Amino acid sequence: MFNIFGGSAAKHLTAADAVALAAKGEITLLDVREAGEVAASGTAKGGVHIPLSMVPLKANPKGPDHDKRLNPAKPVAVFCAVGGRAGQAAQVLSQLGYSVHNIGGFGDWVSAGGAVQR
């Protein structure tokens, strides 16, 4: 996703793009916020909630704790509160072979018209 020599290793995906792709079932939404944050505001409808600290374990398809809702063959749109933790998760997911996009924060998802589940 990041290229230190300039340019982009992946097409930039906006929250609005993610809303459209999620509606068609073409992308997995990953919320990496803590449980208390999700309880307070809800999360993206149909999204997978895995706190950032658990992403390396839950996203590793070769590991015993792999969460089957994450499929390396399907693109992942990751978000947190404002985007920082999503960036960290995106790096981990990319190293594990996922096509991943940091779409920023939960507010970006909501502002783009994304549905919320509580």
Q: Three-class SS of residue 35?
A: helix
Q: Mean pLDDT over residues 1-17, rounded?
A: 59
Query: Which tokens go with 84?
Result: 């920082």
pLDDT at 4 over 90: no
What structural domains does the chain harbor?
15-117 (3.40.250.10)
Q: Half-sphere exposure of residue 5, counting CA atoms within 13 Å on the CB side? A: 1
pLDDT tens, position by position, 27-80? 999 999 999 999 999 999 999 999 999 999 999 999 999 999 999 999 999 999
CB 15 within 8 A of CB 109: yes
